[in-house]
Chains A and B, each alone.
Chain A
Amino acid sequence: MTEWGWVAFAYGVAYGSFFLYAGSIALRINRARQSIERSE
Chain B
Amino acid sequence: MKVQTRIRWWPWAAVALSLVVAFTLSMISPRDDVQGELVRIMYIHVPAAWLAYVAFFMTFVGSLTYLLTKNLRWDRIAAASAEIGVFFTGLTLVLGMIWGKSTWGVWWTWDARLTLTAIMFFVYLGYLALRRTTDDPVARASRASVLGVLGAVQIPIVHFSVVWWRTLHQPPSIVRPDSPAIQEPLMLITLIVGVVAFTIIYISLMIKRIELTHLEDQLTEIEHSTDQPVAGEAVVVPELGARP
B243 contacts chain A at the CB level, 8 A cutoff: no
Q: Which residues between 8 and 43 of chain B lie within 8 Å of chain A, taking CB atoms?
A: 12, 15, 19, 23, 26, 36-38, 40-41
B2 near A40: Cβ-Cβ < 8 Å:
yes
Which residue of A9, A14, A37, A39 is within 8 Å of B91 (Cβ)?
A: A14
Chain B residues with CB under 8 Å of A29's CB are: 208, 211-212, 215
Q: How far is the CB of A5 from the nearest CB of chain B, in Å?
A: 9
Chain A, Cβ-Cβ closest to B214: A32
Chain A residues with CB under 8 Å of B215's CB are: 29, 32-33, 36
In the complex, A15 Cα to B87 Cα: how many Å? 12
Residues of B within 8 A of A (CB): 1-3, 12, 15, 19, 23, 26, 36-38, 40-41, 44-45, 48, 87, 90-91, 94-95, 98-99, 101-102, 201, 205, 208-209, 211-212, 215-216, 218-219, 222
Residues of A within 8 A of B (CB): 1, 3-4, 6-7, 9-11, 13-15, 17-18, 21-22, 25-26, 28-29, 32-33, 35-37, 39-40
